[in-house]
Structure 1
Amino acid sequence: MLLLPIALSAQTKLSANIAEDFSNRVAERYQQKNHQAELFIADQLSKSGTGGLDIDKTMTDLKSDPAALDESLKFLYQYNDCNRQTLIAYLREMGVLSGSVYPLATYTVNKYKNESKALIEEKATIIKMGTMPVAAATPQPIPAKKPATKKLTEEEATTTSYDNTPTAASAGVKEPGDTTAGATTTAASGDDYNWDVRTLFKLRTPQELENLYGKENVVYRGTTDLAGNDAGNAYFVFPDTDNEMQVIFDGDKSPTITFTKPHSKWKSPFGIKVGDPLDKVVKVNGRDFKINGFEWTDGGIVNSWEGGSIAGKGVLVLFKANNSGDPGMYDKVTGDKKVKTDMGVLKKLEVVVDKIEFKSN
């Protein structure tokens, strides 16, 4: 029998068919948006970083991401108050095959029973703060897959007008892809903007970007990559402000999102923002990692996440040293070398996030 490599120990594994069964049930219920448990799992995966940049993609294909599948079971266990019988009852309610229910429950309880106290306390805090997700009253239609979108050339992008194209309704927070006829081109104002970066990964065209944030708030101009090399043109949202964001579209694939300004309102994946100290990123990653030596090719850019939580999630970070005045200290982390983030000198150099790039896989 084929076994999925998500083991608790040498004695306990989930078979591929059980993992797929659970994954399929979660995908269906999550897309309906009327089941609080699945929405809770998605929120927790996003907070932990295991959900990656595109939580919708992760939640609808857990079987392809063993780490996310494991974590989803943990958060389902948490949702059910870390109670085995309650968990079993919920798995049955989900429609999990009868032959999968007990193996899933046993695997989950054995794997996370030592975390039960912390999980229960965290859930109580979430409830107290009023941040539990709200489920829809009725099942929502499961979205159909969008057809491939033609990638615009630079000439098309700079000459095409969207003035006569219907846009999303201006009332409330707009969703990507909403092109309801009769809507105006006026974007929501002030704090009505959707500041969740995850929303952007669903976009495929400049029109959708303008629908969300207003054509007057989007400009198309030259940009560079994190290393400072010419990267062609990008769409700048709220240019030359603290909330400036760069978007580069990639046809029917997820766009690349880049931030270079501190103090923005954007809610970024993993909670990492420009200006964050190095130790915060280490904590989010769950372990130390390596960056390229400063003042060299790709200097300050993460070279390897060393298998941490951020590894393989489409996150690229450039660091800078705010206190590089002492040559003796700075020379230890400059040049053609890989620098491990546990070096004490990095804290003295006040290393922080300078730029960050997100690209959903």
Structure 2
Amino acid sequence: MACLLALAAAVAAPADNPPPADLPAFDCAGPFAGDASEAVLAARFGAGNVVFRTVPGPEGTTFKATVLFPRDPARRVEIAWKDEKRRRRPEHVSVAAASRWMTAEGLGVGSGLAAVEAANGRPFTMAGFGWDYGGTVTDWNGGRLARSGCRLLLRLEPTPGAPADDVDGDRDFRSDAPAMRAAKPVIYEMMLMFE
């Protein structure tokens, strides 16, 4: 029980949850900047930790991506390229599942709704649950997590067993709506989307 309380406190306070020391921040700068390339990633993380392969996409599709740390779920990152032939200029960068990557604000997979609102400095808008793009943040409403040129996209899902029927479906909800708070959503995927 004490471990669960400590975890809840860390998730609720993003400033107290810095990125792991062995990983840079999951951000639009650094290794995932708009001018990044597979060659730069191989130099930074080791050529043996970088592969190019087909990965699953939304709605049953697949696409080609560079995968960092393909055998390590905690460090795995998928990068789709605008210039796929030369594997440069990211289109999007994503982490999910057991990822340990964290934003500079201390958000990561498993961070809760309150932590996301605190990092943003205000409530935000997100899609309802129960469909392919369910739980996706659609608007930061002018908060601190809004970026230009590169968008931080978070996807959240309800905590198992929490009531979520009132926030299901292909429509938008405010994060501070009572029904959304009752669903106790947590981040399950983070993406950097480049314009």
C-alpha separation in 1, matches of 2:62 and 2:138: 20
Hey, what does 1:248 align to over in structure 2? 80
Match of 1:201 in 2: 32
**222, 225, 234: which is aligned to 2:65?**
234
Q: Which residue of 2 aligns with 1:56?
A: none
Equivalent pairs counted in the alignment come to 165
In structure 2, what residue type is equivalent to 1:352? Answer: V
Residue 319 of structure 1 aligns with which residue? Answer: 156
Residue identity opposite 1:195 in structure 2: P
Matches within 5 A, 1:295-306: 295-296=130-131, 298-306=133-141
Indicate conservation of the 8 Å contact 2:70/2:76, yes or no.
Answer: yes
**Deviation of residue 219 (structure 1)?**
2.0
Q: TM-score, with normalisation over the residues of structure 1?
A: 0.41
Question: Which structure shows the bigger proportion of residues in strand conformation?
Answer: 2
- Secondary structure at 1:299's aligned position in 2? coil
| Structure of larger gyration radius | 1
Distance 1:194 1:332, change over 3 A: closer
Question: What fraction of aligned residue pairs are identical, expressed as a percent?
Answer: 23
Cα drift, residue 218 of structure 1: 1.6
Matched, 1:339 2:173: yes
Q: Greater relative contact order: 1 or 2 (C-alpha under 8 angstroms, separation 6 or more)?
A: 2
Q: CA RMSD in A?
A: 2.5
Query: Does the 8 Å CA contact 1:218/1:239 hold for their aligned counterparts?
Result: yes
- Counterpart pick for 2:121 among 286, 302, 305: 286
User: Partner of 1:81 in structure 2?
Assistant: none
Give deviations 1:110-161, integer Å, cap 9, x for gaps. xxxxxxxxxxxxxxxxxxxxxxxxxxxxxxxxxxxxxxxxxxxxxxxxxxxx
Question: CA–CA distance in 1 between the matches of 2:104 and 2:38?
Answer: 22
CA contact (8 A) 2:125 2:141 kept: yes
Unaligned runs of 5+ in 2: 1-20
**2:93 equivalent in structure 1:** 257
Unaligned runs of 5+ in 1: 1-190
How much does 1:231 deviate? 4.9
Aligned-residue offset at 1:356 = 0.7
Shift of 1:288: 1.0
**For 1:210, what is the secondary structure of its paired residue?**
helix
Deviations 1:207-242 (A, max 9, x none): 2211111121122222244x5552511111112421
1:309 and 2:144 correspond: yes
State the match for 1:17 in structure 2.
none
Task: State the AA in 2 paired with 1:289.
Answer: F
Matches within 5 A, 1:21-100: none
